[in-house]
Amino acid sequence: MFNDLNPKQGSILIAEPFMLDDNFERSVLLLCQHDNELGSFAVILNQKSQSKISIHIDEFTEIKFPIFIGGPVQTEDIFFIHRVGHLISGGVPLYEDIYFGGSFEELTYLIKDGRLESGAIKFFKGYAGWQENQLMQELDENSWAVHNRYPSDLPFVDDGENLWKRALIDLGPKYAHVANFPKSSDFHQN
């Protein structure tokens, strides 16, 4: 088994090295809700888009924060995680000082006032979702490794596949060698 930890809200999910689904190849996700009966949803932390948040939200015309592809569901909607739950009300606590969502009005004020830096917030277009028991089935199929005790800055790292490698290495020596596996697409190029 790739990993035998149980996921919970705030867990990090790390895609197995040869995942064939292009949406999740070498991806790291932050689990924002997990309920076997109601389903689960997460945001992909390491798929940066080419655009900035200012293109998607009129109030942020001067803001240059990057926006990430959070997943293939509701790709027209913007979601965010942050580390300032004491400044943005209504955020859902996920893990230590990490929150999902909250007051958009307060968020807008903090950004326009220059009180929120990009290392304290991450924006996403869309999310990844699972129906009831679907995530547990994927875990049984070894599609994901679950990480429940990670440094709280990990979800805010901004460097693509290196975040995937860092998350695996952070799981411990048993997983460190997996970080060096080639991509499945590397096998199909010959």
In a domain, 110, yes or no: yes
Q: Quick check: 142 and 16 in contact, CB under 8 A?
A: yes
In a domain, 3, yes or no: no
How many domains is the chain partitioned into structurally? 1
In a domain, 19, yes or no: no
- Can you give the pLDDT at residue 135? 93
**The pair of three-digit structure tokens given for residue 94, joined into one six-digit string:** 């996920």
- Can you give the pLDDT at residue 180? 83
- Can you give the pLDDT at residue 14? 95
Quote the radius of gyration of the chain (alpha carbons, Å): 17
In a domain, 129, yes or no: yes
- Can you give the pLDDT at residue 139? 92
**The pair of three-digit structure tokens given for residue 64, joined into one six-digit string:** 């240059």
d(CA 83, CA 87): 9
d(CA 98, CA 85): 8
In a domain, 141, yes or no: yes
pTM greater than 0.95 (yes/no)? no
In a domain, 9, yes or no: no
Could you read off the pLDDT tens digit of each residue along the chain, which spans 190 residues? 577 789 999 999 999 988 889 899 999 999 999 988 889 999 999 999 988 888 878 777 777 789 999 999 999 999 999 999 999 999 999 999 999 999 999 998 998 888 888 789 999 999 999 999 999 999 999 999 999 999 999 999 888 889 999 999 999 888 888 888 877 655 555 4
- Can you give the pLDDT at residue 147? 95
- Can you give the pLDDT at residue 62? 73
> Domain holding 89: CATH number?
3.40.1740.10
Domain enclosing residue 120, as ranges: 32-187
In a domain, 63, yes or no: yes
In a domain, 122, yes or no: yes
Burial of 189 (0-12, 13-18, 19+ CB in 10 A): exposed
- Can you give the pLDDT at residue 185? 58
